[in-house]
Chains A and B, each alone.
Chain A
Amino acid sequence: MELLIGQMFAGLSLGSVLLLAALGLSLTFGQMGVINMAHGEFMMAGAYTAFVVQRSISDAGISLLVSIPVGFLVGGLLGLVLEAVLLRRMYHRPLDTLLVTFGVALILQQAARDIFGAPSVDVRAPAWLQGNVELLGAPIPLTRLFILLLSLVCLAGLVVVLKGTPLGRRIRAVVLNRDLAETSGISTRRTDQLTFFIGSGLAGVAGVAVTLIGSTGPYLGTNYIVDAFLVVVAGGVGQIKGAVIAAFALGVLQSVFEFSTTASIGKVLILVLIVVFLQLRPQGIFSLKTRSLA
Chain B
Amino acid sequence: MRVSVTRRALIPLAAAAMATALAGCGSQISDPASANSTASSGSSCVDTSGSSVKVGFINSLSGTMAISENTVFDSLSLAAEEINAAGGVMGKQLEVISEDGASEPTKFAERAGKLIQQDCTAAVFGGWTSSSRKAMLPVFEANDALLFYPVQYEGLEASKNIFYTGATTNQQIIPALDYLAEQGTKSIFLVGSDYVFPRTANKIIQAYAKAHGMEVLGEEYAPLGSTEFSTIVNKVRDSKADAVFNTLNGDSNVAFFRQYKSVGLTAASMPVVSVSIAEEEVPGVGLENVEGQLTAWDYYQTLDTPANKKFVAAFKAKFGADRVTSDPMEAAYTSLYLWKAMVEKAGSFEVDKVQAAAGGVTFEAPEGTVTVDGENNHITKTPRIGKINSEGLIETVWSSPKAVEPDPFLASYDWAKDLAK
Contacts and interface: CB of A to CB of B under 8 A. Distances in A.
Interface residues of A, number: 70
Interface in B217-273: 220-223, 225-228, 230-232, 234-235, 237-238, 251, 253-255, 258-259, 261-264
B258 A125 contact: yes
Interface in A211-258: 212-215, 217, 219, 222-223, 225-226, 229-230, 232-233, 237-238, 254-255, 258
B284 A217 contact: yes
Contact of B13 (A17, A35, A131, A222): A35
A95 B53 CA distance: 52
A225 B15 CA distance: 12
**Interface residue SS majority, chain B:** helix
A98 B230 contact: no
Given A118-B66, A213-B258, A215-B227, A141 B263 contact: yes
Interface stretch (A73-81, A164-172, A260-268): A260-268
Nearest to A17: B228
A132 interface: yes
B223 A237 contact: no
Contact of B286 (A124, A226, A238): A124
A144 B228 CA distance: 11
Contacts of B74: none
Interface stretch (B20-28, B44-52, B351-359, B372-380): B20-28
Contacts of B86: none
A217 B251 contact: yes
Contact of A144 (B64, B222, B255, B262): B262
A92 B10 contact: no
A259 B261 contact: no
Given A37-B20, A92-B3, A226-B21, A215 B284 contact: yes
Contact of A29 (B14, B21, B259, B281): B14
A13 to B, nearest CB: 6
B307 interface: no
13 contacts: A17-B228, A119-B280, A121-B284, A132-B263, A141-B263, A213-B255, A219-B64, A219-B251, A223-B226, A233-B15, A254-B228, A259-B234, A294-B6
Interface of A: 2-3, 6-7, 9-10, 13-14, 17, 29, 33, 35, 37, 92, 94-95, 98, 102, 113, 118-122, 124-125, 130-132, 139, 141-144, 178-179, 210, 212-215, 217, 219, 222-223, 225-226, 229-230, 232-233, 237-238, 254-255, 258-259, 262-264, 266-267, 278, 282-284, 287-288, 292, 294
